[in-house]
Amino acid sequence: MASARSVMLQVLLLAATFAAVPGVLSDPPPLQDFCVADLKAATTVDGFPCKATSTVVDDDFFSDAMVAAPRTDTNPFGVNSTRATVSAFPGLNTLGLSITRTDLAPGGLNPPHSHPRGSELVLVLKGEVMVGFTSATNRLFTKVVKENELYVVPRGLQHFQLNVGTGDAVFMAMFDAQSPGLVTPTLALFATEPAMPMEVLTKTFLMGKDDVTAMKSKFAGF
């Protein structure tokens, strides 16, 4: 039978192994019951400081952001997302989760993007949505997801959602991060401030300056 000392050593080694592996948890575990975000705090931390417990109220743990259907005719993609991340829902602070509602017009597309700090679980509430993501080996995984069906997108991978049904579509995207982040390649290349160097764009896309300028004009104002 292993001695108590050897068992303790194995436990410590296992704990050290998990601590050394980045990304075992998307967000670190909380240290207290709750830490409602103080969005007006002057102190900058990795997240948000906590409000004083004495100032926390019931509504800090409530959000009705998902109730109203947003317009989908305000952009050429036919998509609109309502995000309940910690910035809009302070009660999520330190809890390692958030949610987004996305509405798609017929044929609407949520363009390829990634979330560097969170995996995404898609639940389709209405319509038929093609969900797809690409791996680091450029393999494409896709599935048409119907009402009450789920699809998961691993953290950090490029993915998209396309309405392939005949009517409007709605899905909820749940994240294992209070602020999963959003990186959209087209905007990251063509709508940066300051502008991405023209030489980088022409060499990346094997196009001339006129073609790149035309492409950039399509994303002006985003």
178: nearest Cα among 125, 99, 114, 61? 99
Total count of residues recorded for the chain: 222
Asked whether residue 120 is marked as a ligand-binding residue, the answer is yes
End-to-end CA distance of the chain, in Å? 66
For residue 147, say whether it is annotated as part of any ligand binding site.
no
221 dihedral zone (left: phi>0; alpha: psi -120 to 50; beta)? left
Rounded Cα distance, 52 and 156, in Å: 34
Residue 93 labeled ligand binder: no
Euclidean distance between CA atoms 210 and 133, whole angstroms: 31
Annotated binding residue at 110? yes
149 annotated as a binding-site residue: no
Rg (CA), the chain: 21
DSSP-derived 3-state class of residue 190: helix
- Find out whether 97 and 178 touch, Cβ atoms under 8 Å: yes
Per the annotation, binding residues for Mn(2+) are: 113, 115, 120, 159
Binding residues: 110, 113, 115, 120, 159
Q: Which residues are annotated as a binding site for oxalate?
A: 110, 115, 120
